[in-house]
């Protein structure tokens, strides 16, 4: 693909500083990094993946409402974080995180632990304690 053919299909990157880097051939025949604002097939694939994530989050939200899980599990899923990744970001052992998915254990967490989770998930502690309606 040539530099002037790099897709610029604004959808997910509109108004964002995040952009894709693609490699294209310039007028001299050399490969060059070119910023792209998206590409329709990639956007379609992202839509499908995000629909799956939204579905999983909906199921977890129902578990939270029934008292079968904590809001932590919901927020982790919403941020595409599994237990290992959340552990890596917080420094909290995986086995403890799994226990914190229990509503009873989550309710007993101290403010420091809640703050670690909130920081890793880029939300406030108040948001961490609830799920959206």
Q: Which domains does the chain have, with CATH numbers?
A: 3-38 (no CATH), 67-128 (1.10.260.40)
- Taking residue 97's Cβ as centre, other Cβ atoms within 10 Å add up to 20
**Distance between CA atoms of 46 and 123, rounded to whole angstroms?**
23
What's the pLDDT score for residue 117?
A: 98
What's the pLDDT score for residue 15?
A: 63
Of 31-45, 75-89, 96-110, the least confident: 31-45
Of 20-24, 59-63, 129-133, the least confident: 20-24
∠ CA(130), CA(72), CA(18), 5° rounding? 95
**Distance between CA atoms of 51 and 96, rounded to whole angstroms?**
29
**Distance between CA atoms of 110 and 116, rounded to whole angstroms?**
10
What's the pLDDT score for residue 46?
A: 83
∠ CA(47), CA(86), CA(131), 5° rounding? 65
Q: Closest Cα to residue 131, out of 58, 80, 68?
A: 58
Mean pLDDT of 17-24: 76
Q: Closest Cα to residue 14, out of 44, 30, 36, 47?
A: 36
pTM for the predicted model, two decimal places: 0.74
Higher pLDDT, 17 or 32: 32
């Amino acid at each position: 693909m040539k530099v002037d053919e790099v897709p610029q299909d604004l959808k997910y990157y509109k108004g964002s500083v995040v952009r894709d880097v693609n490699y294209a051939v310039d007028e001299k025949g050399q490969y060059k990094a070119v910023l792209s604002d998206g590409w329709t097939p990639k956007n379609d694939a992202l839509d499908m993946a995000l629909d799956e994530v939204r579905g999983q989050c909906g199921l977890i939200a129902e578990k939270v409402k029934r008292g079968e899980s904590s809001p932590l599990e919901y927020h982790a899923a919403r941020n595409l974080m599994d237990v290992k990744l959340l552990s890596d970001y917080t420094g909290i052992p995986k086995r403890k995180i799994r226990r914190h998915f229990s509503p009873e254990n989550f309710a007993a967490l101290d403010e420091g632990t809640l703050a670690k989770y909130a920081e890793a998930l880029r939300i406030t502690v108040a948001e961490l304690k609830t799920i959206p309606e």
